[in-house]
Amino acid sequence: MAIGTNIRTWFEGKWHDGDVPIMRAADHGSWVGTTVFDGARMVNGLMPDLDLHCARVNRSAKALMLNPTVQPDEMVLLIREGLKAYAADAAVYIRPMYWGISGDASAIVPSQEETGFCICLEQIPFAPPEASTTLTTTRFRRPVLEDAVVNAKAGCLYPNNARMLAEANAKGFGNALVADATGNVAETATANVFMAKDGEVFTPIANGTFLSGITRARHISNLTADGFKVHESVLSFDDFHDADEVFLSGNMSKVTPVTAFDGTNYQVGPITQRARELYWEWAAKSEAANA
């Protein structure tokens, strides 16, 4: 499913131009759903935390009982090679992926003997600074580890996210603020979430019901180093209604301000703006250090 343009695919040992077919009808991932991926970004020549995203896709593979076959540092080199075909100012979505090919005698457990792997580079515009979204509640919740592989960035989790998002869109909102199994706020349908109150920053504590994002961790680190008190806490929907600012944290846009949650409106405030500034300042320093 291409949502961007100018796609390049690394598959079976080389780079290809275009959206190359990679899975067969009988592959384990095609009919049992053993697929994982990760997402990084190149924006203005910067590739924040690329190494961490490559390491996480291998952890995700293991969570689905897949055998990861490419080391993270090798992935980084392949990705940097593939990105040379793009303009320096291109905004590119970077997606390493694994999937199961065969199964055991039950056909359910994936075989450790063979694992599919590719990297997809897709040019997708980066959201402008003025972009924002709105939130509403949803009747769907995040699962727990006993029910689903919430410790992986797995394709099989996304139908649940999709119905959250579809419900929110049908109500006229941009995204859904989602509860965990006990009714506390976990994240949104597509990203982790932060709120600010009285000059301090809060984010739902990572409790095993959602993927605690790489970009989320970077915001916590950056804001803490800048002197803000950042709390990982159990948060309710009432806490978000009482917040001064709310923003989303995800790889696709890094910081997305929230302007409303149901009947509550927010400013795009100084902490949201500072989180974005700190992120790109850190990204520039990190890229220079790795050059």
Q: How many Å apart are CA 16 and CA 18, to the nearest integer?
A: 6
DSSP string, the chain: --SSEEEEEEETTEEEES------TTSHHHHT--EEE--EEEBTTB-TTHHHHHHHHHHHHHHTT----S-HHHHHHHHHHHHTTS-TT--EEEEEEEEE--B-TTSSSBPSS-EEEEEEEEE-PPPPTT--EEEEEEEEE---TTTS-TTS-BGGGHHHHHHHHHHHHHTT-SEEEEE-TTSSEEEESSSEEEEEETTEEEEE---SSS---HHHHHHHHHHHHTT--EEEE---HHHHHT-SEEEEE-TTTS-EEEEEETTEE----HHHHHHHHHHHHHHHHHHHHH-
Residue 93: which of 52, 70, 137, 125 has the closest Cα?
Answer: 125
CATH value of 5-123 in 3.40.50.300, 3.40.50.150, 3.30.470.10, 1.20.1440.60: 3.30.470.10
Q: How many Å apart are CA 197 and CA 239, to the nearest integer?
A: 9
CATH 2.70.98.10 fits 133-284, yes or no: no
Q: How is the chain split into domains, by residue range?
A: 5-123, 133-284
Whole-number pLDDT of residue 174:
98
In this model, does residue 211 exceed pLDDT 60?
Answer: yes
| Beta carbons of 74 and 52 less than 8 angstroms apart | no
Give the HSE-up count for residue 270: Cα atoms under 13 Å, Cβ half-sphere. 5
Average pLDDT for residues 134-145, to the nearest whole number?
Answer: 96
In this model, does residue 251 exceed pLDDT 80?
Answer: yes
Average pLDDT for residues 207-221, to the nearest whole number?
Answer: 95
Whole-number pLDDT of residue 1:
57
Going by pLDDT thresholds of 50, 70 and 90, the confidence category of residue 238 is: very high
In this model, does residue 290 exceed pLDDT 80?
Answer: no
- When mean pLDDT is compared across 107-111, 181-185, 211-215, the lowest value belongs to 107-111
Digit-coded pLDDT (tens) for 112-139: 889 999 999 999 999 998 899 999 999 9
Digit-coded pLDDT (tens) for 172-186: 999 999 999 999 999
Whole-number pLDDT of residue 33:
94
Digit-coded pLDDT (tens) for 52-87: 999 999 999 999 999 999 999 999 999 999 999 999
In this model, does residue 279 exceed pLDDT 60?
Answer: yes
In this model, does residue 2 exceed pLDDT 80?
Answer: no
Residue 254: which of 285, 225, 228, 219 has the closest Cα?
Answer: 219
Average pLDDT for residues 139-166, to the nearest whole number?
Answer: 96
Tally of CB atoms within 10 A around 39:
20
In this model, does residue 291 exceed pLDDT 70?
Answer: no
| Beta carbons of 98 and 116 less than 8 angstroms apart | yes
Whole-number pLDDT of residue 289:
78
Digit-coded pLDDT (tens) for 7-49: 999 999 999 999 999 999 999 999 999 999 999 999 999 999 9
